[in-house]
Homo-oligomer: A and B are copies of this chain.
Amino acid sequence: MPFRVRAVILVAMSQRATVARSAEGAHSLPREYYADPAWLVRERQTLFQREWLLAAHVCDLPDTPCCHPVEVAGQPVLLVRQEDQSIQAFHNVCRHRGALLVDDPGGPCERGAITCPYHGWSFSLNGSLKGTPNMPGLTRAERDALGLLPIATRVWQGFVLIRFGHRSSRVDPLWDTVAAEIAPWGIETLVRTRRLTYQVQANWKLLFQNYSECYHCPLVHPALNRLTPYQASDNRFTAGLVLGGPMQLAEEVESMTSTSRRIADCLPGLSGPSCRTIVYFTIFPTFFLSLHPDFVLVHSLHPTAYDRTRVECDFYVHPSAASASDFEPAPAIEFWDVTNRQDWHVCERVQRGAASLAFQPGPYSDLESVVAAFDRHYLQSVTASR
């Protein structure tokens, strides 16, 4: 969806902010980034290996121990809650013949082991090889080398993040900066009340770029634009891993819902001004956070082809709200489902136009400075050595 603007209604604007908001003459990316199937292959081998990717929320692994299979960037992944409560990701692939180990989202890790349904090889929750029926000859060293392949994992603000590649152990300091910004929402304590899933016929980058500006809001989202006028925004983060910032709710508007009323009380960590803004952050490459006074919206992009993206859109609320007998999230879900579909429609139009042999990148407006910032960060990431 929305944002980032030369905020005409904000009177005072520092020189620095002006620079940060400018697209500085940048143009959109050339045709091949959207229309060439080979490009996604390259992205899978580079940036989707290098970057921390959203895999789940802690509420997906409620019990100790438990397993949760997910697909991230096209790779089968198994998240395992360990006995010590920590969460570790593994490739969801048996080390014997390569069968997918767990495919049922509710699949249990029975008796502390993950057992392959093909030949019965089993693994401890920590990934170590446990049982190999009918293979008496394996040496200790061989067994030690045949544990599940681990994936770098960390929990950040309630989200389970994973990174496939091994090279760098450095974590961008922006993660900490943003964590401090979003701590009041207490996302690690929230529960998911609904997941919407979409199949969009557009390259994933078009969805990212679309979310990164509200220049399109007046025409594409007239209802949204009434709740948060597109000029009433600010860019808190303007370069690198994290981009975005707050938009002000119009007077009389409580939240982004079809009734413009909240679906629950303000989250307990929020107060005063925080209850009057929506904060939109993108975390490169496929994770969007939309913080509302009463709920948190998360978009997660899953590229399935150069011109296809599966989108999961999750609604998180406070457990006390979710358990209330009169809880009704429909106004929030309806509002965002309509808004999402408006976005996918224009993204699909750009996919069709950008695939034209005649397509030429056009200039960005200052309202699209964050789109330009995405492009710059993307080009850096996709061309960096793995």
- Using CB atoms and an 8 Å cutoff, list the residues of chain A in contact with chain B: 6, 28, 44-45, 75-76, 91-101, 103, 117-120, 132-135, 137-138, 142, 146, 149, 164, 209, 215-216, 218-220, 346, 349-350, 352-354, 356-363, 365-367
Contacts and interface: CB of A to CB of B under 8 A. Distances in A.
Nearest to A371: B97
Given A219-B119, A346-B117, A358-B93, A366 B137 contact: yes
9 contacts: A75-B356, A76-B356, A91-B358, A93-B353, A96-B363, A97-B209, A99-B350, A117-B349, A118-B219
A93 B134 contact: no
Chain multiplicity (copies): 3
A interface, over-half SS: loop
Given A44-B357, A93-B359, A352 B117 contact: no
Given A75-B357, A215-B134, A350 B97 contact: yes
Nearest to A96: B362
Contact of A346 (B118, B134, B216, B365): B118
Given A98-B28, A358-B75, A366-B137, A353 B92 contact: yes
B356 A93 contact: yes
A75 B220 CA distance: 25
A303 B23 CA distance: 40
Contacts of A93: 353-354, 356, 358-359
Given A117-B220, A215-B119, A99 B358 contact: no
